[in-house]
A and B are shown apart, each in its own frame.
Chain A
Amino acid sequence: MKTLRPALTIVILIGVLLCFGVQPTSAAKDNVLRIAFDAADITDLHPHFAHTTQDRGVVHLIFNGLVRYKTGDIGKFVPDLAESWEVSRDGLTWTFHLRKGVMVHPWKNNPGYELTSEDVVYSFTSAADKNKSAWAVEYAGMQFKAIDQYTVQVILEKPLSELLFLPKMADYAGGLIIPKKAVEDLGEGFKSHPVGTGPFVFKKYLPKEKAITVRNEKFYRGTPKLDGVEVFYMPDMSSRKFGLQSKELDVIEGPPSQPWVDEMRALRGVEVDVFGPGEAGVLYFNMAKKPFDDIRVRRAIAYALSRDEVVTTIGKAIADPVFSQIPQPQPGYLTRDEVLLRGKMDGKDYLYEVDRNKAKKLLSDAGFPKGLKTTVFMTERGEYAVPFQNIVAQLREAGIDVKVTVVDHPTYHHNIRADMNPIVEYNCWRPTADVRLTHFHHSDSIVKTGKKPVTNFMHLGEKDADGDGKVDSVDYQIEVARDLLDSGAQKAVWKETQFKLLDWCVSYPLFIKKFTFARRNNVQWGYDLTSTLILSPQINELTSIK
């Protein structure tokens, strides 16, 4: 026993140190909201590059747009940095009248200054430059002019409907206004020390740990109720949950998973927000790879799948079935009834409701009486992998054997863009129907071979989709809709385009999956959280901790 004496002494010493040196954990008593994202770190806090949920979570505390999506509801636009705007009769010139007295946050030794039209023009010019922005293509062909200190004009090459134009001017991506002097002064440092005009001022970034912001006392919409917001980066789900339980965190990002939602709702003092718009999950069939060039094979896959089963796998509280390539609630989407009714009128089936016998017959007709085998890459990320596991299981019942090679997420994105997958599951939200249709269905966007390759995995516009031996395309419809100024007519063309896509079965819309965050029940957003484009709850001047 004597041999153990030194060790025991040390144990006692450590015990004493712990008892007297530290305090038990408790909820933070300050008026600072702490939110944790499922991420290891930031990627880029420059708003014209920020695209990850964790980056947008910080960027939207700091920046504003000329107009903004109504907080918590992306269905409406309201004024923000611009008090009002009007469009010329020819639809080519949009004039924005800026709010006076909007102050840019202080940075380094600069106390800040009043935001003017010079900053707005600088910001949009930068957003349109492919070397300075990830969204440059959205602003191609636009000119920006400062008419006076508080008036800005945007001149278009071709007129755009309000439905397509205002999202480019709104508080999202390239529409977020960056102040000229701060960008020029901070240079490369701007992406890790952003300076804007929003309700919170960036204070500090601790790599791999958190970003700290403090209240903007001079915020033009009113002083924020919170003293500040700290954004944590915590890739481990259990740690985030424990952080919320121990009250070290106020809000945490969750996975889009029903069991997680149920588990969090069962915790005392915790509420779960499930909100949209969500990410639409669509299967795209690569017509450049056999046998997916055969419409019967593609339709067989569609008939082998039950949307309800996939939705149940994801969780009924967080997912809904979708019936068109443009998902609800985006203008231009199709309801189940619309798809059903139009199918009846056309004597066709655009719904493809599950019928595995029909699927087997179609396969047999296509020359695969014993079923077929294929191999795909799939990301390890749960939001993709979970529904896809169910899809694979359903397809197996119809005799379609899909061998899955699991890879990490960047590899998956690389491989699908390298045209390696015969079937691609892609989950995303796009700001407008035009962007979605262009990126996924226009021939310019064909992966690898398109003029501007993006995500046309199907090779639509390059291959025969309906089996008549001629190349099929929806380029014309997409371009016509884009040029229409009447929103109603625009929606009608988008709907027609989608009936074509459904008929050719080049892609199969499956589900829309909403976002899930848990919060302590003393956190009040200050608005009704229905949908938000930043994919996380917006924290603004109205948000408070009771």
Chain B
Amino acid sequence: MLAFSIRRILVAIPTLLIVLTITFVLIRIAPGDPAEVRLGDYASKEAVEALRRQMGLDRSMWVQYLEALKGLVQADFGRSIINGRPISGDLKRALPYTIQLTLFGIMFGVLFGIPTGVYSALRRNTLTDYIGRTLSLGGLSIPSFYLGILLMLVFSIHIPLFPVVGGGDIHDLADNLYHLFLPGLTLGLVMTAYVTRMTRSSVLNTLNEDFIRTARAKGLSERKVIYKHLLRNALLSIVALIGVYSIILTGGSVMVEIVFSRPGLGRMMIGALKQRDYTTLQAVMIVFATFVVLINLIADLLYGLVDPRVRRK
């Protein structure tokens, strides 16, 4: 398992390199200049040129690219070219907000999606199944930012239970959870919809397998059939797909962070994009890519845990 993990981590290196290169090139191809953004529309061309020199943007693209590569290797993202703050400091502050939001969403989705999917599959074509399917389809259809606004309207305005502004104090657990609940619920409901649908179809596929029929023929209790035979086998594809959907969810967290004004990576990314903050945007994209690589790795490791055959290979 260790060798497997190391191999996967090594594979991540070219992935991160590609992400850095694409981000580096795309943001520089896009019209708009960080110096113009920082100085505003009032500034003279002369002042803009002076600031470009200060920002190091007058150097060749290759020099800038090699510097970005060096930063990646040394895990030092340097300073924001717009506000001059160390990017690692801003990342350090933003990361926990995004991680807790995504984790909350994934956990919520798994905790509610798997039982609902199993329940729905076991009662196929009953009223309960139809309700479950309709709700999960609704969850898939509704954009996360819109769902967030609806939840805010209900649970912050009409029933004033939860706050709408900010991510809470990261050092105060109660305050943090208090601010996390609604955005987490937003992502969690979307994830629940994904997980419910794939669990249902995976369980339905497994239900038709011979070993389930054999287990029932042996006279095993329904509980044993479900837990020991059905779920264990159905979980294989569920775990793989949860990995994929978690990555989609990470992307969805950007909009949810904006709607709930959480100071996470999504906010950082959009801000950097609008301000043409090249260095910050590169760093955020690398962190997002690392996120994706890690989630994939975790999914693969879980896959090995769930299926002994994978471990043996």
What residues of chain A have their CB less than 8 Å away from a CB belonging to chain B? 2-4, 6-7, 10-11, 17-18, 21-26, 36, 40-44, 49, 51-52, 130-131, 133-137, 188-189, 191-192, 206-210, 232-236, 238-239, 242-243, 245-246, 248-249, 407-411, 413-415, 417-418, 428, 430, 439, 452-455
Contacts and interface: CB of A to CB of B under 8 A. Distances in A.
Contacts of B122: 3
B17 to A, nearest CB: 27
A243 B39 contact: no
Nearest to A428: B41
B47 interface: yes
Contacts of B56: none
Contact of B119 (A3, A238, A245): A3
Given A208-B268, A239-B261, 9 more contacts: A49-B38, A130-B44, A130-B46, A232-B165, A235-B270, A248-B164, A413-B41, A430-B42, A454-B45
Contact of A453 (B45, B259, B275): B45
B111 A10 contact: yes
Contact of B83 (A191, A239, A453): A191
Interface string B197-238: 000000000000000000000000001001100000000000
Interface of B: 30-33, 36-47, 50-51, 54, 82-85, 90, 93-94, 111-112, 114-115, 118-119, 122, 149, 152-153, 156-157, 160-167, 174, 177-178, 181, 223, 226-227, 258-261, 263-264, 267-268, 270-271, 274-276
A134 B42 contact: yes
A411 B156 CA distance: 37
A209 B51 CA distance: 26
B92 to A, nearest CB: 10
Contacts of B43: 51, 134-135
A411 B31 contact: yes
Nearest to A439: B42
B250 to A, nearest CB: 17
B54 A131 contact: yes
Contact of A207 (B45, B51, B85, B152): B85
Contacts of B94: 207-208
A408 B46 CA distance: 24
A44 B83 contact: yes
Q: Which of B47, B94, B270 has most chain A Cβ within 10 Å?
A: B47
A64 to B, nearest CB: 21
A418 B258 CA distance: 32
B165 A248 contact: yes
Contacts of A249: 165
B31 A25 contact: no
B50 A413 contact: no
A207 B261 CA distance: 12
A24 B165 contact: no
B115 A7 contact: yes
A245 B164 CA distance: 10
Contacts of A248: 163-165
Contacts of A238: 149, 152, 259
A2 B167 CA distance: 37
Contacts of B165: 36, 232, 234, 239, 243, 246, 248-249
B47 A130 contact: yes
A4 B44 contact: no
B93 A22 contact: no
Contacts of A407: 31
Contact of B46 (A209, A413, A452): A452
A6 B118 CA distance: 13
A212 to B, nearest CB: 12
A143 B50 CA distance: 22
A155 to B, nearest CB: 23
B36 A208 contact: no
A-B residue pairs, 5 tightest by C-beta: A410-B32, A51-B40, A40-B271, A208-B263, A209-B263
A134 to B, nearest CB: 4
Contact of B111 (A7, A26, A191, A455): A7
Contact of A242 (B37, B156, B226): B156
B187 to A, nearest CB: 15
Contacts of A455: 41
Contact of B32 (A22, A235, A408): A408
A24 B259 CA distance: 20
Nearest to B35: A134
Contacts of A136: 44, 47
20 contacts: A10-B111, A17-B177, A21-B178, A41-B267, A43-B275, A51-B40, A52-B40, A134-B47, A207-B93, A208-B90, A208-B267, A236-B259, A239-B152, A239-B260, A242-B157, A248-B163, A411-B30, A413-B41, A417-B36, A453-B44
Given A25-B156, A209-B166, A239-B152, A192 B84 contact: yes
B39 A49 contact: yes
Contacts of B32: 408, 410-411, 413-414
Residue among A26, A236, A428 with most chain B CB within 10 A: A236
Nearest to B157: A245
A377 to B, nearest CB: 9
Contacts of A246: 156-157, 160, 163-165
Given A3-B118, A208-B94, A24 B84 contact: no
Contacts of A439: 42
B42 A208 contact: no
Contacts of B42: 51, 134-135, 430, 439
A415 B163 CA distance: 41
Report which residue of B82, B112, B165, B264 has the largest number of chain A beta carbons within 10 angstroms of its beta carbon. B165
A189 B85 CA distance: 8
Contacts of B93: 206-207
Contacts of B276: 410
Given A3-B119, A131-B54, A134-B39, A25 B112 contact: no
Contact of B50 (A7, A43, A130): A130
B47 A192 contact: no
Nearest to B275: A43
Contacts of A411: 30-32
A68 B94 CA distance: 38
Contacts of A191: 83-84
Contact of A192 (B33, B41, B44, B83): B83
A3 B226 contact: yes
A472 B274 CA distance: 38
A210 B33 CA distance: 25
A1 to B, nearest CB: 8
Contacts of A415: 31
